[in-house]
Amino acid sequence: TDALRVYSAEMRSQRILSAEERANALPVKMMIPLGLCIFPVVMMVIMLPVIIRMRGVFF
């Protein structure tokens, strides 16, 4: 029974370590969707008023 307790403790710690590694890798994996979906919208919100004002000045 001691071997089984040691084995279960090792498996538990291995599962926790694996979950922590996946959680640490998540922000890196989220950068691509964030960059593709949110960044263009933010750039439009920032640049659109500037473009409208410049269009009024130059054209």
Q: What is the CA radius of gyration of the chain?
A: 25
pLDDT digits (tens, 9 = 90+) for 19-32: 999 999 999 999 99
The per-residue DSSP string of 25-43 comes to: HHHHHHHHHHHHHTHHHHH
> For the chain, first and last CA: distance in Å?
84
What is the model's pLDDT at position 1? Answer: 86
pLDDT digits (tens, 9 = 90+) for 33-49: 888 999 999 999 999 99
Count of domains observed in the chain: 1
What is the model's pLDDT at position 56? Answer: 78
What is the model's pLDDT at position 59? Answer: 66
The pLDDT of residue 3 is above 70:
yes
- Kindly report the pTM of this predicted structure: 0.55
Range of the structural domain that residue 27 is part of: 2-58
Q: How far apart are CA 51 and CA 40, in angstroms?
A: 15
Phi and psi torsions of 39, nearest 5°: -60, -45
